[in-house]
Amino acid sequence: WKAQLKWQRLEPFEKFAAMVERHWDGIVAYCHPDNNASLGFMEGLNNKIRAIQRRAYGIKDQRYLMLKVLTSFIPDPSKSPKLPIEKIVEP
């Protein structure tokens, strides 16, 4: 996937690949079986990042790309019955 990002020649993607490479040991350590990180979770994470990359055409800022990746994992309260939902009452 890093070769595919380099082929794109987009600086934010190159920076993202470099960041993953810098933190690779930590990512692998998190995926260790003792941490109970399932392969399904990792596949889901990878698929979300790839979907964001597909939609990210024209993103020139690495911080914005990282923000999109991080905010994609915030749960939607309307789809999760376990989370308390506060209704906003306008005066």
Helix (H, G, I), strand (E, B) or coil at 38: coil
7: enclosing H helix or E strand: helix 2-8
- Per-residue model confidence (pLDDT) at position 86: 58
- Per-residue model confidence (pLDDT) at position 88: 58
> Is 0.75 topped by the overall pTM?
no
d(C-alpha 87, C-alpha 20), whole Å: 39
Residues with Cβ < 8 Å from 75, sequence gap 6 or more? 83
From the list 10, 41, 11, 37, the residue with the least C-alpha distance to 26 is 37
What's the pLDDT tens digit per position in 18-71?
888 888 888 777 766 666 666 777 788 788 878 877 776 766 677 777 777 777
Q: Identify whether the C-beta of residue 56 lies closer than 8 Å to the C-beta of residue 65.
A: yes
Helix (H, G, I), strand (E, B) or coil at 22: helix
